[in-house]
Structure 1
Amino acid sequence: MTPLPVVQALRQRSHAALHQLDADEIGALRVDASAPATRPDGQQWSEYSTALTPDDLLNGLKGWWRCDAATVAAGHVLPVTLAGYVVAPLAGVHTWEKDTRSRYAFPRHACPDTSATPTKVVTATTRPDRDLAELLLGSRLPTHSGGAIAYARTRTGRPPGKDA
């Protein structure tokens, strides 16, 4: 059971200020809270847990997903969401790799929020990545589309490719 003060603090969190991003749409990796497990390929997987160190979190979030890789890379960040809240923006997302199953992986580093309370812990080392983490961490991020990778519009009311 989640303590009432934590639920109330989550309810007060604002929506991500996506209009500040330099893309019309971004990808978001939707995860569950889970205990460590082993994937069929033998790799350890832990999805998201406040008990993970930043390095363990990054290793646990490595994966291959079906998605629009160009859209994900164009956003330069892959927010990791748990129940609609950004818990770890993966920064430095600029390129991708494709496997034989037409799934994609993105080299990046994490800026995790590893606390259960609305406290931000930013581990990014560059100013742009720190700014992205501050913009997204702990905010609400409604997404659309099914699957592990979902999408969020950054500029509502404008078709993709149209500047204000």
Structure 2
Amino acid sequence: MGIRLSSTARSKTATPGDLLKALRGWWRCDPAGVAAGGTLPVTLSGYVVAVLTGLERWQRNDAGHHAFPDARLAGYVTDLAAPQITVTGGTDGDRRLAELLLGTRFASHSGGAIAYVPTTGAG
């Protein structure tokens, strides 16, 4: 599952703190499904431009949108033409996920802000 990046978070002047604040929510989504995935790749035009982890806890507002207040920014991309990848993860797992996902292209099926990415089961 991935979320498309908002215009606020796409700004070239956005700091990692700005990105994290913008990406923690408010999303119309199935929060338990997002939390179960453990990783939230954020996409722009199908390319992963940020990776969030730490999604175990969520909040719901009156409009039915959800936020992930404990989300961590594992990494982000600032330029897709000449990718500038910054890994910010504080754990080995977060860093590995960011390195694996950032800058890759996801084929997804979108019905709005949330895009669903097919995965393969562990064999």
Q: What is the TM-score when the length of structure 2 is the normalising length?
A: 0.85
Q: Deviations over 1:66-125 (max 9, x none)?
A: 111111111111111000000011122222112222221113021222234223210111
Identity of aligned residues (%): 50
Counterpart of 1:127 in structure 2 is 92
Name which of structure 1's ranges 78-87 and 66-75 shifts more when overlaid on structure 2: 66-75
Counterpart of 1:71 in structure 2 is 33
In 2, the alpha carbon distance for the partners of 1:68 and 1:58 equals 20
Q: CA RMSD in A?
A: 1.8
Say if 1:76 and 1:91, in contact at 8 Å, map to a contact too.
Answer: yes
For the pair 1:30 / 2:4, whether they are aligned, the reply is yes
For residues 19-98 of structure 1, the aligned pairs below 5 Å read 27-32=1-6, 34=7, 46-98=8-60
In our comparison, the structure showing a higher alpha carbon Rg is 1
Counterpart of 2:110 in structure 1 is 145
Say if 1:28 and 1:78, in contact at 8 Å, map to a contact too.
Answer: yes
Amino acid at match of 1:114: T
More strand as a share of residues: 2
Q: What is the TM-score when the length of structure 1 is the normalising length?
A: 0.66
Gaps in structure 1 of 5+ consecutive residues: 1-26, 35-45
Say if 1:85 and 1:139, in contact at 8 Å, map to a contact too.
Answer: yes
Name which of structure 1's ranges 129-138 and 92-101 shifts more when overlaid on structure 2: 92-101
In 1, the alpha carbon distance for the partners of 2:41 and 2:101 equals 7
Gaps in structure 2 of 5+ consecutive residues: none
In 2, the alpha carbon distance for the partners of 1:145 and 1:112 equals 21
